[in-house]
Structure 1
Amino acid sequence: MALGKKLVFPKRKKKKSRVQNKMGKAPGTISYMGDKERSDSVIFSTFYNTDGFQTKEFRTLDEFLKSEQTGHISWVNIIGISDEPFIERLGKHYNLNPLVLEDVVNTEQRPKIDEYEDYIFGVFKMLYISEEDEIVGEHVALVLLENTVLVFQEVKEDVFNGLRDRITGKMGRIRSRGADYLFFALLDAIVDNYFLVIENLNHRIEVLEEDVYNNPEPIVAKNIQQLKKEILKIRRWIYPVKELISRLIDSEHPLIKKDTKLFLRDVHDHTVEINESLQIYREMSMSLMEMYMSNMSNKMNEVMKVLTIMASIFIPLTFIAGVYGMNFEHMPELHFRYGYYVVWVVMIILFIGMMLYFKKKKWL
């Protein structure tokens, strides 16, 4: 190859990333960063106190703002975060910082907690098992105000049905508590659902262990690799939650009452247990690949052992056949009347003797 000649590689089609969509924009720019198809935002609002509750659906922001009530705890559930003007108007109504709204519409935002003078903002990943038995991760943002909790979701599916039943059925203490307890209950529902995800991972690891031992096919290695990636992704979503809950417990913010912090400690204990389980499953997924490679190596050794034994048996037989297959005229054995039968007897004795020897050595 001539010196100085430039190598030309085929160009790969580059996919525009979400980071590139964000680059160059001013901080606080409300720009939806997600994979869902854009749609209008819908508000499902639940007002409640010790006397009763009321649930309404609002298709327009104006309709919602006109219906706001006082003297109640409000759970405002915003479904759909791709409608940027809607999110911006709602944020202005509640005096939310533009940086908060930027994180609300950024589905790649890592879990975080930010404390402001009048509210507390948090971003989390809501994980649940789909009907196809797949782990689904959805972006959810929470804002704790004095008597209101705002919940921003990409899709309507969530893990809060149990909480809704407690409010509508007046079960437990939630109807007699403030917005900070509702904030805790939402976090508790998110974290509790992580246990279902952990169980799903545990089941998949057990299935893969059986496959590794009984059927170490190439597809098993692919499934192990996919599981490892999924565990790492889930760990990236769940791991920071422990520190965030700890921050809420240690917080001096007036919106979080002292008795609510006692319940947050229980959530913190759950996050510690979940993180420990994730670490164990991560190590198990790595050992699964090692077990797979070891089993494949053992399988190959078994094949090589059989081939070696066959070669060892036929080498002396081939030698005898080769000697008497030579075309020399003066070979004494060629004129021996029973030479053919003698050679066959010798070859059979050699074959049986070698088989018995290999068996005695437990090579067979």
Structure 2
Amino acid sequence: MIYQVDNQKLKVKIQDIQDDHMYIAMMSLDELKTCYREYHITERSLLRCEETSMLNQNIIIPHRQYYYGLINLINARDVFVKKDSLAFFIFKNLFLVVVIDDEDHHISEVFQSSSDYVLEKGVSITRLVYYFLSELISRDYQYIEDLQEEIEDLESHDSEEESIHFTNQLRQLSKELLLLRNYYDNLVIIGEDLQMNHHHIFEDDDMRYFEIFTRRIERLSNNVQMLRELLSQAYEAHQSKLDYKLNKTMQFFTVVTTVFMPLTLIAGWYGMNFKNMPELSSPYGYLSVILVSVSVVVLLMLWFKKKKFL
């Protein structure tokens, strides 16, 4: 579908496109294959749509007459689900969106809403591109807030009984945040490249829109980095709990070992049964050893308590 969006939104055909009007269009990759020459799109750009559609990256390439870009969208709420993907071509008076994968119809919704919105704000190719790209990431702020709440909720349920589950969840979230950070970094590159305005496709007065878009992506990237730091702090706090528990266990065994060392010495000493040992023939020998052993235990326990080992 192709819309002329000068004063009102009018559906037109390819042959109706004129240089003195502004247009926004959306089609599938199969549709583009049948008419790419009419848009003066090179065969190499068409092949890029097929070659790069399987890659998990976002790219933008300036050509002499247009920009070519590819975006693999990530759902910040679940980064491991199948991604929507699209290619786009930016001419001086035409913004063409090529849908490669859009199972949830998110790209179609963004296309319709952005083309309607630009009529209210004044039409230019820069604003068409800006509103479309901004709409693509409009939900991400809420998704990132949801991720923050998930991390905080995970911290509140950090317990010894759920240690393994907690650690697995941390690892999963860490992978998600790393993917999100790379995703936004790629979008920043797209925004910066658009600001360079190769071949003067965009109006100079409107270049601030791409600067605003780039700053928004940078804020999202910074928010993701903040969540990664929050996740790191949660892991360190969890590890500190485990270390404290281990230290208490080791302290207990140290006390037990220290108490039994002198008792083992006494038992070994008086268990040698030499002929001339006076305690062997003494009627109080057995009782004396018991009293000495008990005294050693009591003294050691008092000493440990004084040193706050118990």
For the superposition of Structure 1 and Structure 2, which TM-score range results when normalised by the shorter chain? 0.7 to 0.9
Secondary structure of the corresponding residue to residue 267 of structure 2: helix
> Aligned AA for 2:58?
P
Distance 2:95 2:189 in 1: 24
Number of aligned positions between the proteins: 301
Match status 1:230 vs 2:187: no
Secondary structure of the corresponding residue to residue 73 of structure 2: strand
Match status 1:88 vs 2:33: yes
Secondary structure of the corresponding residue to residue 192 of structure 1: coil
Q: Comparing both chains, which one has the higher relative contact order based on Cα–Cα distances under 8 Å and sequence gaps of 6 or more?
A: 2
The 1:205–1:166 alpha-carbon spacing in structure 2 relative to 1, beyond 3 Å, is same
The 1:199–1:66 alpha-carbon spacing in structure 2 relative to 1, beyond 3 Å, is same
Is the 2:76–2:180 contact (alpha carbons within 8 Å) kept by the matching residues of 1? no
Distance 1:239 1:308 in 2: 51
> Aligned AA for 1:118?
Q
Is the 1:212–1:288 contact (alpha carbons within 8 Å) kept by the matching residues of 2? no
> Per-residue displacement from partner, 1:48-89 (whole Å, max 9, x unpaired)?
6444566xxxxxxxxxx97876577333142xx5x6xx5532
Distance 1:200 1:159 in 2: 19
The 1:69–1:352 alpha-carbon spacing in structure 2 relative to 1, beyond 3 Å, is farther
The 1:238–1:117 alpha-carbon spacing in structure 2 relative to 1, beyond 3 Å, is same
Q: 1:273 aligns with which of 204, 208, 219?
A: 219
Q: 2:3 aligns with which of 47, 64, 84?
A: 47
Which residue number in structure 2 is paired with residue 74 of structure 1?
24
The 1:195–1:98 alpha-carbon spacing in structure 2 relative to 1, beyond 3 Å, is farther
Which residue number in structure 2 is paired with residue 164 of structure 1?
112
> Aligned AA for 1:96?
I
> Aligned AA for 1:237?
Y
Distance 2:23 2:162 in 1: 56
Distance 2:219 2:106 in 1: 20
How far the C-alpha of 1:268 sits from its partner, in A, is 1.8
How far the C-alpha of 1:358 sits from its partner, in A, is 0.9
Which structure has the highest helix share of the two?
A: 2
How far the C-alpha of 1:186 sits from its partner, in A, is 1.5
CA RMSD, 1 decimal: 3.7
Distance 1:278 1:154 in 2: 26
How far the C-alpha of 1:262 sits from its partner, in A, is 3.2
Structure 1: tracts of 5 or more residues without a match: 1-44, 55-64
Which residue number in structure 1 is paired with residue 90 of structure 2?
144
Match status 1:125 vs 2:72: yes
Match status 1:187 vs 2:187: no
Between the two proteins, what is the percent identity of the paired residues?
A: 22
Distance 1:338 1:355 in 2: 26
The 1:335–1:215 alpha-carbon spacing in structure 2 relative to 1, beyond 3 Å, is same
> Aligned AA for 1:352?
V
Match status 1:361 vs 2:303: no
Which residue number in structure 2 is paired with residue 153 of structure 1?
100
Is the 1:149–1:179 contact (alpha carbons within 8 Å) kept by the matching residues of 2? no
How far the C-alpha of 1:309 sits from its partner, in A, is 0.7
- 1:107-122 pair list within 5 angstroms: 107-108=54-55, 110-122=57-69
Distance 1:134 1:272 in 2: 19
> Per-residue displacement from partner, 1:210-252 (whole Å, max 9, x unpaired)?
5678668355444444444433333222213223213323416
Distance 1:228 1:236 in 2: 13
Distance 1:178 1:138 in 2: 26
